Structure 1
Amino acid sequence: MILLLLGAFVVVAAVGDLPDAAIIVAVVCLNTAIGVVQEVRAANALAALEQLAAPEATAIRDGRPVRVPTADLVPGDQVRLDAGDVVPADVVLVQAAGVQVDESSMTGESVPVSRESGAELLAGSVLTRGRALGQVVRTGTTSALGGIAAAVVAAGVRTTPLQRRLSRLSGQLVWLTLAVAALVLVLGIARGQDLTDMLVVAVSLAVAAIPESLPAVVTVALALGAYRMARRNALVRRLPAVETLGSVTVLATDKTGTLTEGRMTVGLVWTPDGSWRVSGGGYAVAGGFDPIDEVVDGEALSLLLRDVVLCNDARLTGPAAGEWTVVGDPMEGALLVAAAKHDPGFLALSEQWCRVGELPFDSTTKRMVTIHRSSVGRLVVCKGAPEAVFDALGDPARAEAARIAAEGLARRGYRVLAVADALRDDPDAEVDLDRDRPAGLMLRGLVALVDPPRESARDVVSACREAGIRAVMITGDHPATARAIADELTITLDGPEVATGADVAGGRHAERVSDIGVYARTRPQDKVDIVAAWQRRGAVVAMTGDGVNDAPALRNADIGVAMGNRGTEVARQAADLVLADDDLRTVVAAVQEGRRIYANIRRFLRYGLSGGLAEVLVLLLAPWLGMPLPLTPGQILWINMVTHGLPGVAFGGEPADPVDMRRPSPSPERSVLGGLLPQIAATAALIAVVALAVGLSVEGEGARRTTIFLGLGLAQLWLALVLRAPRGDGGWRARSLEAAVAGAALLLVAGAVWPPLCELLDTTAASASQIALVAILAAVPAAVVAVVGRLYRGSGGSRVPGPGPKGPGDGAGHRRNMEGERGGHHAGEHHAGEHRGDRRRSRG
């Protein structure tokens, strides 16, 4: 459309119409400037987040540890790693003492894993326990993290549904306009009209038909949406992505740290004498132990908690604001928090029981053993995987009962630890820690841990379901763990099946993708395949995540949503939207904002195209009524600039309609004008008739142009007041459209009364009585639209379709179900036939 305007500029400049040429250039420059400024502001808003990641590493240089930027590391460097450090590059461990690593950012596994000398650590993983010395083997794009970043760059940037819709619309408008202008030019020349005059008429038609303010209005609407999102801690990297969220039909979300808290919590404790459910989440001190059985032994619970505190290398600091801070392995920290919930005094047990020996946890034995001494004797505590601890018990019957209980907890998605001990009255008693069955070792119980769902996650899933959006969980965790979380969040109501990364790699998920709600044991490339499978079904996919392993999927999805605080820099750079507060509820707010923007753009298109078509009809019909050129290109552009400028910006800020979040979004394949063309045509005809009527009511070519100029402009401004969004109790802030219409009316009238503008626009000065008469007559089209809309609503035509199906299945079904359209509750937004179709689709 901008190219067509530039073509019009060349024509009017060639025929010497310099004022009109200047106005066209001003419009093009204004649109360009608005777009550039808003994109730059969006980029600057994210710059602060990029400062969150300024990683450094402790390298050994000249035999001394020094802090250096990660970017300065090269293969062969040695780096020192302590608990809490981020691994700066791919390294091979030269020395390792009790090392455990959180690789969730790379693999999606929420549980830290042990690593020994000779093992390789990937860049981006985090040491949760121990200390190590590693030798750098790969940096930059050759590292595992860099390889994922390279895949992100190779993916490119997908066009958004709004971009595709507006691209189709602009193409259709341009070709239709060119065809009409060429036809008028040829017919005029065939009738013997002057070529220069006909060129001006053809250019006037082109300028009238094109909503040249649409790029600026869309950009401003997106920018206002980005501003509102930023106030709610959602930072937009690309402006078109603001609307894309409103078109989303599938939300593919990572589990660890996104749907869940990203930290282990003790959920249940089992002893041979009874079980307890542990309340409270995270590292908060609030919570306690609620017995599950009718009769339980409190002594058994105390002994179990004593053991998990003693056989533990983590530390708790705090509490601050009700939360403890864990130093060391998060899982061991969760055990300490559970003990503190039962009795804060348990945290001081290490002062009564002095540790005198230990066997650290390793991947071979899968258990940790510690020896403690006190005045009452010597205590041996063993903690680890159930099978590793059960093999060290001396009571086969008790071991079998515990094994059955452990298997049941594992099926429910818990990570299970077994705890056993042996107390010797003789402080000098010898204990062989390497034996499979230390004499007298007794099982104290099982501790079931889980990475619990975020408190807001279930509400988010429910809100998405109501809005017609399918939520799909993608994780690297065990299928049982993932299924348990998905059941709790009700994700499996829409997709009851669970698929694994092996299913994705073999392509076995593609045909049943609409039935799968959970993907477990996935790899980064699997997530990309899952997103692609949904896109092939015609879905618009949003992917949320925070880890490096999410980055390729974030880029390949229609919109990627990254976490700002705990998210990796690679994920933030790959995403279109960054959640500064890491709150998943912000995604729902962003979806509503996207739908609000799409609805407002449709309102503007109905408003703007009605006025543009009315201008075309006036230009086509006026010669048959004795008015060869009723409007000049400059007058048309002034009308469009005034009526689309301030009101266009105000349309972008119209309030959201709550109904938009209770039904699916329209299909991306549907035209942005779907259902609006009959209203646009009828409204344009009304405006054209009124404009021509006021023009015929006066004598003189100049006076006729001026009254038609005023009639067209004022009729469009009255229409804006009718097409506004439903109003709530928003006070003066909800009246921005009314203020914009008043300001635009003053500018329009100035073009017919202020001498400098009259000279520029080639209008004649109008009297106050003429302006008042034109304003009254110009209100007729808007009044008719308002009355028809009220009658239609009274007949029940504004009934809103239901939320539709659980989610998109095949492409055709998705398109049928998504076609329920918004906005039919005001000013006859949808005709009766379309609503009847909506109701049929809703029942389907």
Structure 2
Amino acid sequence: MNWHLLQLSEIEQLLNSSPKGMDSITASELLLENGKNQIADHKKKTPLRMFLQQFTDFMILVLIAAALISGVLGDLVDTLIILAIILINAIVGFIQEYRAEKAMEALKNMVASTARVLREGKTIDLDACDLVLGDVVVLEAGNIIPADIRFIETHQIKVDESTLTGESHNTEKIAKTLPEGTYGLGDRTNMGFKGTNITNGRGLAYVVATGMNTELGHIAKMIQQDETATPLQKRLIAFGKRLSIVILLICALIFTIGWLRGEAILAMLLTSISLSVAAIPEALPALVTIALAFGAKRLVKNNALIRKLPAVETLGSVTYICSDKTGTLTRNKMTVQETDEIQNTNDYLSFFQENALLKAMALNNDISITKDKKWLGDSTEIALVQYAFDNNINKYTVEKIFPRVAELPFDSNRKCMTTLHQTEKGILVITKGAVDELFKKLDKNQKIVIPEIEFRVNKMSEKGYRVLGYAIKLLPSLPEKLSIESVESSLTLIGFAGMIDPPREEAKQAVAECKQAGIIPVMITGDHQLTAKAIAIQLGIIASEEDLVLSGTELSALTQPQFEVIVEKVRVYARVNPEQKLKIVKALQDKNQFVAMTGDGVNDAPALKNADIGIAMGINGTEVSKEAAHMILLDDNFATIVKAVKHGRRIFDNILKFIKYTMTSNSGEIWAIFLAPFFGLPIPLLAIHILWINLVTDGLPGLALVSEPSESNIMSRPPRSTKENIFAGGMALHILWVGFLMGVVTLAMQAWSMHYSQNHWQTMTFTVLCLSQMGHVLAIRSEQESIFKIGLLSNKPMLGALLLTVILQMMIIYTPLFNSLFKTQPLTIMELVITFAASSVVFCAVEIEKSFKRMQK
């Protein structure tokens, strides 16, 4: 219902109410019929259901099966390790989902708890949740509006709607019906919305929407939508399904070949199961969790608090950052940017000529100062008084010279405010207001130059500034009865001031770095189109004529297909409502973009929740936005996002390195066991050897990859394509050829040692495969740079993991207890040297591969 377009008489008929309010019986009936005025919770999952759902992932189910089979066959150690990893991941996932439920609680807590209403002409206080359609609410400064309302009468009432509309200045409210047209929330000046704050004045209003039918309720519905999976989650799900099926088929094939060759069925079954357990990287979920946790810890030090761990990685895949303007890209503080003083020759005003505009700015306001020297009052007036103060005109000093004796308060109809001051020559009248309104009140002599003044005003307006003018005149004495017609007439315009909520100084650099990293910044704001465009140009968000600016009204006129044609070209959205913010995010996602949304208000919460990553402001952000977001900027600094993106890319790179390492290692094991029969060789490894490699060789160095520093080009390359799978960029080929090489080197060592060291062949074969993987992890620390350039000490945890793994391998070779357990024998010095030499082949091959990559750059 377009309540803002209806006459009050029509509203009274529709609601069956009157300015005196309704009777209690009717109110009770309506409350039963429509329900309470509160934000409803969506159907919650029980904690047990949340926890059990963590075990439904395909890869997790395969791991559970492998753990059970391994346990049945007597390998309880591996079973316990796998189950522990699964349990840790389930607990982390449960905590994240459980905390997400707090978004709705925060939304409920921000609404008014009590309301003052008129019932049958009497004023009563009642719980806000008991309000019904047609109730007449009594409102005054300091109240939270308890429902969506249509004003009946207003007395200088102003409302802070920044959390809902994104506008940085308070909105003056009126009671009259608006002309026919399309209005965004911020333009519905005769309406009030649930959860917003009254900062000034008083008024009466009809309740026109309650509970989930309010604008706040609509936001609640949008927050309750399911979240999107992160790029990493999508890739790992697909990766896990394919990998598990392939590995199970390969293991079945190896079992069949061994059985046909006459190998013992029990031994082949144990080997096949061990190989399947080894080949499925069950450490991957744990490593991802650890990598994300480490990244989250580093990000906190950079003022970015991660609420949902997958968000750390998602940052590295983001292609669009849709940023709220107010308080995020700008300071959320109105500031005078420019003034234009008009020189006048009126002799009778000569006493006020010097710094006349600055004096008028200091005098014409209702600002007060707190004990700790902070200005208190309307944000626009504070900006004007501050500007005068910064230019050596102190409000309180000037007021002593020109004390106020009367005033005509601001009125939204005439868009002006007038103060009257005592001087030696009479009463000084100072009128502040919209320049076009002041033009109507000027002295006839000055009206001649209005076109010239208008040109100067328009130049200021084109910069996106909000322009306010000042005009004065001198009365011989204070009139007995103040009237607008007599006081605000025959004025002399002395100048005007241009104000704007200016961009943060660091935001421009952050925008430039985003663009360099292939990320497109987009401004989404409830502010006016001209202002938004001016800020966007200053920040570099708009850099060419192809960059479009779209208003909420224009967006409403577009169909979804029409919008999706241009969505990737739009850089600024102005005067948009919450539904449109969500529409923008979803349209970009439909174009296969990964979207980050920053914001601080209630209006941002649905988009924050549904974006691939929602980023809330920690200082000025509402609790609703924080609970809906994946990440919180503790310093409200847009530049912090750039640091977070770098961390996200680094973490994803390191996860890919782990996958490359562990899958290549597994590939080497599979190649060795699969090819052995074709060369007339026995199965080279025992089941316990495979499990040892899986536990120690894969585990320790793999986890150390989490600490790998970022690549030098990490912020000069575009985001990883969302269409690419995990094995894109040559990873699949690397896994196959390096794994094949690893398997061939292992079999070559087996063949040689069976001929020259018959008793020790299996120990040498086992050790070559183990140490080859150490050389491989050392070489893949960088995608292109040589290990000798990045330095062995640049990742000290990796160096420690390698040394520990080698020591453990030596322990099972030279310790009698482990010789018995692992079926190994002590090697001679020469055999050990030959083993180390053979193990270096893989390292050298990968370093040669990287040198070819560098030459192709």
Q: TM-score range by the shorter chain?
A: 0.7 to 0.9
- Provide closer, same or farther for how the CA distance between residues 657 and 127 of structure 1 changes in structure 2, counting only shifts above 3 A: farther
1:145 aligned residue (216, 238, 243): 216
Q: Matches of 1:627 and 1:730 in 2, distance apart?
A: 40
- Provide closer, same or farther for how the CA distance between residues 132 and 716 of structure 1 changes in structure 2, counting only shifts above 3 A: farther
How do 1:211-610 residues align onto structure 2 when only pairs under 5 Å count?
Answer: 211-273=281-343, 300=353, 302-317=355-370, 325-394=374-443, 395-424=446-475, 426-429=476-479, 432-435=482-485, 438-493=488-543, 495-505=546-556, 506-507=558-559, 508-610=562-664
For 1:783, the equivalent position in structure 2 comes to: 844
Q: Conserved in 2, the CA contact under 8 Å of 1:353 and 1:372?
A: yes
For 2:122, the equivalent position in structure 1 comes to: none
* One-letter code aligned to 2:253: L
Structure 2: where are the runs of 5+ without partners? 1-58, 119-124, 177-189, 345-349
- Provide closer, same or farther for how the CA distance between residues 175 and 44 of structure 1 changes in structure 2, counting only shifts above 3 A: closer
Deviations 1:536-566 (A, max 9, x none): 2221111111111111211222111111111
- Provide closer, same or farther for how the CA distance between residues 694 and 347 of structure 1 changes in structure 2, counting only shifts above 3 A: farther
Q: Matches of 1:32 and 1:691 in 2, distance apart?
A: 35
Deviations 1:687-734 (A, max 9, x none): 223323333454699844433332222211122222224689999674
Q: Conserved in 2, the CA contact under 8 Å of 1:378 and 1:429?
A: no
1:742 corresponds to 2:803: yes
* One-letter code aligned to 1:676: M
> 385-394 or 751-760, which moves further after superposition?
751-760
For 2:780, the equivalent position in structure 1 comes to: 723
Deviation of the 1:333 alpha carbon = 0.3
Q: Matches of 1:377 and 1:144 in 2, distance apart?
A: 52
Percent identity among equivalent residues? 36
1:33 aligned residue (88, 99, 103): 88
Deviation of the 1:244 alpha carbon = 0.9
Give the secondary-structure state (helix, strand or coil) at the position aligned to 1:262. coil
Q: Matches of 1:678 and 1:622 in 2, distance apart?
A: 22
Give the secondary-structure state (helix, strand or coil) at the position aligned to 1:337. helix
Deviation of the 1:138 alpha carbon = 6.7
For 1:18, the equivalent position in structure 2 comes to: 74
For 1:122, the equivalent position in structure 2 comes to: 193
Q: Matches of 1:356 and 1:54 in 2, distance apart?
A: 44
Q: Conserved in 2, the CA contact under 8 Å of 1:110 and 1:451?
A: yes
2:736 aligned residue (676, 681, 693): 681
- Provide closer, same or farther for how the CA distance between residues 204 and 59 of structure 1 changes in structure 2, counting only shifts above 3 A: closer
How do 1:110-189 residues align onto structure 2 when only pairs under 5 Å count?
Answer: 110-115=168-173, 120-130=191-201, 141-154=212-225, 156-189=226-259
Question: What is the TM-score of this pair, normalised by structure 2?
Answer: 0.80
For 1:109, the equivalent position in structure 2 comes to: 167
Deviation of the 1:91 alpha carbon = 6.2
Give the secondary-structure state (helix, strand or coil) at the position aligned to 1:658. coil
Q: What is the number of equivalent residue pairs in this alignment?
A: 759
Q: Conserved in 2, the CA contact under 8 Å of 1:563 and 1:578?
A: yes
Q: Conserved in 2, the CA contact under 8 Å of 1:639 and 1:748?
A: no
Q: Matches of 1:369 and 1:449 in 2, distance apart?
A: 20
* One-letter code aligned to 1:719: H
- Provide closer, same or farther for how the CA distance between residues 211 and 363 of structure 1 changes in structure 2, counting only shifts above 3 A: same
Q: Matches of 2:768 and 2:422 in 1, distance apart?
A: 97
For 2:701, the equivalent position in structure 1 comes to: 647
Q: Matches of 1:298 and 1:469 in 2, distance apart?
A: 57
Give the secondary-structure state (helix, strand or coil) at the position aligned to 1:357. strand
Give the secondary-structure state (helix, strand or coil) at the position aligned to 1:18. coil
For 1:619, the equivalent position in structure 2 comes to: 673
Deviation of the 1:775 alpha carbon = 3.0
Q: Conserved in 1, the CA contact under 8 Å of 2:115 and 2:127?
A: no
Q: Matches of 1:650 and 1:499 in 2, distance apart?
A: 48
Deviations 1:56-93 (A, max 9, x none): 96958999xxxx9999887789787546x765665677
Q: Matches of 1:752 and 1:418 in 2, distance apart?
A: 89
Q: Matches of 2:582 and 2:717 in 1, distance apart?
A: 28
> Over the residues paired in the alignment, what is the CA RMSD in angstroms?
3.6
For 1:820, the equivalent position in structure 2 comes to: none
1:695 aligned residue (750, 763, 767): 750
Q: Matches of 2:100 and 2:550 in 1, distance apart?
A: 39
Deviation of the 1:682 alpha carbon = 2.4
Deviation of the 1:33 alpha carbon = 1.8
Deviations 1:191-231 (A, max 9, x none): 55544333223213323332222212212111111111111
- Provide closer, same or farther for how the CA distance between residues 759 and 576 of structure 1 changes in structure 2, counting only shifts above 3 A: farther
Structure 1: where are the runs of 5+ without partners? 275-296, 800-844
- Provide closer, same or farther for how the CA distance between residues 231 and 298 of structure 1 changes in structure 2, counting only shifts above 3 A: farther
Deviation of the 1:137 alpha carbon = 7.9
For 1:831, the equivalent position in structure 2 comes to: none
Give the secondary-structure state (helix, strand or coil) at the position aligned to 1:660. coil
Q: Conserved in 2, the CA contact under 8 Å of 1:251 and 1:472?
A: yes
Q: Conserved in 1, the CA contact under 8 Å of 2:116 and 2:138?
A: no
Q: Conserved in 2, the CA contact under 8 Å of 1:391 and 1:437?
A: no
* One-letter code aligned to 2:512: S
- Provide closer, same or farther for how the CA distance between residues 438 and 677 of structure 1 changes in structure 2, counting only shifts above 3 A: closer
- Provide closer, same or farther for how the CA distance between residues 690 and 312 of structure 1 changes in structure 2, counting only shifts above 3 A: same
Give the secondary-structure state (helix, strand or coil) at the position aligned to 2:277. helix
- Provide closer, same or farther for how the CA distance between residues 95 and 589 of structure 1 changes in structure 2, counting only shifts above 3 A: same
> 170-179 or 493-502, which moves further after superposition?
493-502
Q: Matches of 1:717 and 1:496 in 2, distance apart?
A: 50
> 564-573 or 399-408, which moves further after superposition?
399-408
Deviation of the 1:594 alpha carbon = 1.0
> 227-236 or 644-653, which moves further after superposition?
644-653
Q: Conserved in 2, the CA contact under 8 Å of 1:96 and 1:133?
A: yes
For 1:825, the equivalent position in structure 2 comes to: none
Give the secondary-structure state (helix, strand or coil) at the position aligned to 1:517. strand
Give the secondary-structure state (helix, strand or coil) at the position aligned to 2:708. coil
Q: Matches of 2:359 and 2:792 in 1, distance apart?
A: 60
For 2:40, the equivalent position in structure 1 comes to: none
> 124-133 or 263-272, which moves further after superposition?
124-133
- Provide closer, same or farther for how the CA distance between residues 571 and 125 of structure 1 changes in structure 2, counting only shifts above 3 A: same
1:3 aligned residue (17, 39, 61): 61
Q: Conserved in 1, the CA contact under 8 Å of 2:431 and 2:488?
A: no
Deviation of the 1:246 alpha carbon = 0.7
Q: Matches of 2:450 and 2:482 in 1, distance apart?
A: 21
* One-letter code aligned to 1:417: L
For 2:28, the equivalent position in structure 1 comes to: none
For 1:805, the equivalent position in structure 2 comes to: none
- Provide closer, same or farther for how the CA distance between residues 380 and 792 of structure 1 changes in structure 2, counting only shifts above 3 A: closer
